[in-house]
Amino acid sequence: GRTQTEDPSLTTQPRNDRFLRALRREPVDCTPVWLMRQAGRYLPEYRATRKAAGSFLAMAKNPELACEVTLQPLRRFPLDAAILFSDILTVPDAMGLGLYFVEGEGPKFERPVRTAADIARLGVPDMGSDLRYVTDAVSTIRRELDNSVPLIGFSGSPWTLACYMVEGGGSKDFARVKSLALNDPAAMHRLLEVTTDAVIAYLSAQRAAGAQALQVFDTWGGVLSPAMYREFSLRYLKRIAAELERGEGTDRTPLILFGKGNGPHVADLAASGTDAVGVDWTIELGEAARRAGGKVALQGNLDPVTLYASPEAIRTEVGRALDSYRDGNGGSREGHVFNLGHGMSPDMDPAHVAVLVEAVHELSAR
Ligand code: CP3
């Protein structure tokens, strides 16, 4: 296989390095922007590729098609980063749970994890075989990007993956996974330990294949009480930040810890050893910057629903988020990566995405 050391083209810095510079809190000409779920059903070209592939999973498991849909939003908008087209649930799928999608119902597992015996059977999947389609997609995308913008690799957080593994799909109240944590914390910790090992191996494999930044999605950390968040989510995010090899200087592969509803925990996350923290719109970006105290870069945090609003309202809200960050960061825009506070929805208007991206670059120009 190709690795960073074998292929010199993979270590070359991208021509547009705003995103990587912002993650290092270095000066940039304007604030970089990318959007969670920037590839997806809101784009007609995505729907066409998906239709031709037959299903979401067929598309995600085919490196050429995953590459195609990764590049689609970059052909339309001057985004400052690409994100690998895949899903967080590829890891539990490779652990043997059997991922499938029911139209209109979201992801499901054929074999959810319910008992201590189920947990004892789990192991770290082999990156070279079970998840080879993901690292092949990463190297295909790097080749096609040709060092134009950096490529982000990603994983779910151990807690968020455990939510899907135990619930067997999405959930309204997370009663099953929380009950397991409350009734048998030792079993829950065994599940989170093996999942953390898998996440670290998965992110390392994406880095070796050419990913230039890595994001962990802790989508469901915010459903926990503060005490349970520290015990069942934060602890494992810290282990990832401490154990994941990332390199040094301009060769460093920065780590972004994104979490929905993680506002109360920004200070702890900033001290976790991560390079950046991604927040949603329920915390003022300036307040997040004050709590982070300049230790990390921040990513966020426009409410995705803003994309349904008028172009004027979008510009106003973009300006507000940019200025809030600057005011909380001692008057400097450095160390901010603009993003939504969560992913885009299928019924959003691509023309409004163009307005958002242009507003970020224009209103933040130094
Ligand atoms: O951001 C990007 O453009 C990269 C692609 C990406 C997808 N999923 C593609 C996808 C990323 C980063 C994810 C992560 C993911 N997947 C998360 C964490 C981020 C978040 O949104 O909170 C979660 C919780 C999942 C689990 C998952 N996979 C859900 C809830 C769904 C949506 C089901 C639905 O019908 O909307 C998926 C499927 C999925 N993953 C789609 C996409 C574009 C929709 C599939 C389709 O085309 O029908």
Distances (CA, A) of 70 to 88, 157, 207, 343: 15, 22, 17, 15
Instruction: State pTM to two decimals.
Output: 0.96
Q: Look at residue 5 in the predicted model and tell me its pLDDT.
A: 46
Which mutation among 37, 38, 45, 102 tests ligand 1's pocket best, with the greatest number of atoms within 8 A of CB?
Answer: 37
Dist. CA 63–CA 67, nearest whole Å: 6
Ligand 1 centre from 57 Cα, in Å? 11
Average pLDDT in the chain: 96
**Preceding omega of 183 cis (within 30 degrees of 0):** no
Q: Is any atom of ligand 1 closer than 6 Å to the C-beta of 338? A: no
Ligand 1 centre from 32 Cα, in Å? 23
Ligand 1 centre from 351 Cα, in Å? 22
Q: Is any atom of ligand 1 closer than 6 Å to the C-beta of 202? A: no
Helix (H) or strand (E) segment spanning residue 255: strand 255-259
DSSP string, 236-247: HHHHHHHHS---
Closest atom of ligand 1 to CA, residue 84 = 4
Q: Is any atom of ligand 1 closer than 6 Å to the C-beta of 37? A: yes
Ligand 1, atom 22: closest residue by C-alpha: 219
ipTM associated with this complex: 0.93
If pLDDT is split at 50, 70 and 90, which confidence band does 281 have?
very high
Q: Look at residue 10 in the predicted model and tell me its pLDDT.
A: 77
Q: Is any atom of ligand 1 closer than 6 Å to the C-beta of 258? A: no
> Residue 8: pLDDT above 70?
no
Q: Which residues are annotated as a binding site for substrate?
A: 37-41, 87, 164, 219, 342
pLDDT digits (tens, 9 = 90+) for 202-226: 999 999 999 999 999 999 999 999 9
pLDDT digits (tens, 9 = 90+) for 94-108: 999 999 999 889 999
Assess contact for 153 and 227: CB atoms under 8 A. no
Give the strands of the sheet with 276-278, arranged side by side. Answer: 82-83, 151-156, 213-218, 255-259, 276-278, 297-302, 336-340
